[in-house]
Structure 1
Amino acid sequence: MTLPSYPAPAHVAGAAGPARPDYEADVIILAMDRAEETVAAIASARAQAGVTRHVWIADQGSRPENLARLAAAVEGAADATLVRLDRNWGVAGGRNRATALGTGRVVFALDNDAEFATDQTLARAVQALAAEPDLAAIACRILVFSTGQDDLLSWGYPKSLLPRSAESFDACTFVGAGHAIRRADFAAAGGYDDALHFTWEEFDVSLRFLNMGKRIRYRGDIAVRHKVSGEGRFAWSGTRWFHFVRNRLYIALKYGAAPAAVLPRFLAYQVKGARNGVLAQGLRAGPAALALARRFRPGPEGAGLYRMTAAARDYIARNDAAHRGGLTRRVQAEVLSLLPGAAR
């Protein structure tokens, strides 16, 4: 598979493009308001040393005054470019379009409320991918910006591995706040699924990486500092719960699960949604997931990426399921995840 070709977005400020054709990494930052945090993220990216890189900021609908602040942050810069996308494509679609702007061998996605932990973070991620050709992605350690402690709401791995947060281990997914992907593998996997908009997009593309025979490596020594903290991050208002439920069910369906097989997960989500006052969102998510799955057509070139191979299943068993304990422990974890305030 290859990435789609996207229309060129409107150039707002900064360089027209990278200063040199052969460089190591693109840093992509999606923006929509939150100008103060985004300007700090841009400064952090531009301060990365020991690596050739270009910083791309893709705005998805900031108010004029905030867009002007972003433009001022890169005005005259040779190493950064601010563009404005034609609409808000969400996290998945926005990252696809931002990634397509560059040609660096590595794409590092940095949340607009995060910063690199040191000025060598990007270089270390690039070196890590270069050292192991079968790695498709590096999952960074996500720290709370104000304390330097692990951001527990950004821990996307079995809880039993949390004591190893400063170490390294193979993983089955990565966290969006800060991660590095090998561009060639991202293109071969077809990029993110635009239909997801936001939530679960990293898990979805990770499954395709695993089906390609690639690995994902969590690196506790390569970190970003995340400014969003506290139990309020998982907002129950708006449509967040709808996307959370719909996307997880849709992913299961498009990788071959029968509707009956995802029913228990759907019902469990309804219990949690009811307890948090968003039952209607969860109920709408089921039919929406089925509709997305019916429309999904990977095409002959990519069909094999959506059938989990024996090797991929074995990888998941060793690097995820094995850390979740036996049946009793896993059932307990499922029950605890349904309690109010648990994000997943």
Structure 2
Amino acid sequence: MFTTALQWSSTSEEVARVAYAGSQLAQAPITARNFKLGAVIVTMGNRPVQFKALLDSVRAQVGPPLEVVVVGNGTALPGLPEDVQGIELPENLGLLAGRNVGLAVLRGRRDIDAVLHLDDDGLLPDPHSAEKLRAAFMADPSLGIIGFRIADETGVSQRRHVPRLRAGDPMRASEVTTFLGGGNAIRMDVVEETGDWPAEFYWAHEETDVAWRALDRGWRIAYRPDILLQHPRTSPSRHPVYYRMTARNRVWLARRHLPIPLVPLYLGAWALITILRRPPLAGLRDWMAGFLEGWRSPCGLRRPMRWRTVWRMTRLGRPPIV
């Protein structure tokens, strides 16, 4: 194990990006056995038992070992195995910025074909998960992202963890329009074409931002229930910033990605859904504050998706108005 204490900057990220781009010269044909996987795990050091179990489950995967990068987000890392790289950030930059740090390191290694992103309290109970990922990516060059099924210790998947409107059967595989951030694999070519995680989001809806960018570039997203991330049953509203960030980031999504005619439809639909869910009064106030913040604050670069992407998402069962 080697751990780096890192002062991260956009310059560091650009160096990694250039290094990776320079490696994309003529390469030997890739087979499933040498399709190389990496993994990024971001931790704040507050779940040491679960983190160790996750790391053990990643290292126990059948097939070629994964290149694992662990990012300590404002925390010192525990002792790590020799084959795991650790990076300690001096402060908590947020989950997404932490993922981008680990992602840039893997890009700099030049030979990673796809990257797993895993919550630090998750677990990969099936040692063949990595082999399934390699086979799926190799079988379909247009497959850009694979979302895992997330289930608790009893095997139950919450409805919000099934990334489609028809969520009644979490065991049904399908092509989808988004995925879950806590357990997924993204082809490195998608990262190169569409960019990093949206660090400015900090938390909430970041997966949809990545998914919409990938879909608009023609990539496919698959939900694979046979690839399981075991994760404790939780409620998203446990986070004190839940209502504010979900509202703010929802507005940012619309401003960044949707054609103008769809913006009021999308935001109106989600405003209605939020009210029908009857949040507590304090939560509703936070949601309204976040909604206004989403309009008043910079949302990043606007690149509205093409109408053919809208139609494709509609055919997949989830038009970008809900």
- Normalised by the shorter chain, which TM-score bucket? 0.7 to 0.9
Q: Does 1:317 align with 2:319?
A: no
1:124 to 129, 132, 144: 132
Q: Which residue of 2 aligns with 1:209?
A: 214
Q: Which residue of 2 aligns with 1:162?
A: 168
Q: Which residue of 2 aligns with 1:115?
A: 123
Q: Does 1:86 align with 2:96?
A: no
Gap runs ≥5 in structure 2? 1-9, 15-33
Q: Does 1:282 align with 2:287?
A: yes
Matched residue type, 2:249: N
- For 1:180-235, what per-residue CA distance to the aligned partner results, in whole angstroms no more than 9, with x for missing partners? 10011112101211111111001111001111011101112221111x215xx222
> Aligned equivalents of 1:312 and 1:260: distance in 2?
18
> Aligned equivalents of 2:311 and 2:278: distance in 1?
32
- For 1:69-118, what per-residue CA distance to the aligned partner results, in whole angstroms no more than 9, with x for missing partners? x422x1xx332112112322222222111111114111001111111121
What is the CA distance between 1:7 and its match in structure 2? 5.9
> Aligned equivalents of 2:168 and 2:299: distance in 1?
38
> Aligned equivalents of 2:281 and 2:161: distance in 1?
20
> Aligned equivalents of 2:247 and 2:116: distance in 1?
27
1:187 to 158, 168, 192: 192
Q: Does 1:149 align with 2:156?
A: yes
Matched residue type, 1:253: R
Matched residue type, 1:86: P
Q: Is the 1:53–1:79 Cα contact (8 Å) retained in structure 2?
A: no
Change (3 A) 1:246 1:271: farther
Q: Which residue of 1 aligns with 2:237?
A: 235
Q: TM-score, normalised by structure 2?
A: 0.80
- For 1:293-326, what per-residue CA distance to the aligned partner results, in whole angstroms no more than 9, with x for missing partners? x45235xxxxxxx22223311221111238x9xx
Q: Is the 2:73–2:98 Cα contact (8 Å) retained in structure 1?
A: yes
Q: Does 1:176 align with 2:184?
A: no
Counterpart secondary structure, 2:116: strand
Matched residue type, 2:147: A
Q: Is the 1:23–1:53 Cα contact (8 Å) retained in structure 2?
A: no
Q: Which residue of 1 aligns with 2:105?
A: 101
2:57 to 31, 38, 44: 44
Q: Is the 1:46–1:79 Cα contact (8 Å) retained in structure 2?
A: no
Q: Aligned-residue CA RMSD in angstroms?
A: 2.7
- For 1:160-192, what per-residue CA distance to the aligned partner results, in whole angstroms no more than 9, with x for missing partners? 2432x3232100011112111001111210121
- For 1:127-173, what per-residue CA distance to the aligned partner results, in whole angstroms no more than 9, with x for missing partners? 211211101101111121x2123243422221x2432x323210001
Change (3 A) 1:162 1:262: closer
Q: TM-score, normalised by structure 1?
A: 0.75
Change (3 A) 1:287 1:71: same
Q: Is the 2:144–2:220 Cα contact (8 Å) retained in structure 1?
A: yes
Q: Sequence identity, in percent?
A: 22
Matched residue type, 1:215: R
* Counterpart mapping for 1:257-296 below 5 A: 258=260, 260-261=264-265, 264-265=268-269, 267-268=271-272, 269=274, 272=277, 275-292=280-297, 294=298, 296=300
Matched residue type, 2:47: R
Q: Which residue of 1 aligns with 2:142?
A: 134
Gap runs ≥5 in structure 1? 9-21, 299-305, 325-329, 335-344
- Number of residue equivalences: 286
1:245 to 223, 244, 247: 247
Change (3 A) 1:47 1:5: farther
> Aligned equivalents of 2:100 and 2:13: distance in 1?
12
Q: Which residue of 2 aligns with 1:308?
A: 305
> Aligned equivalents of 2:141 and 2:237: distance in 1?
38
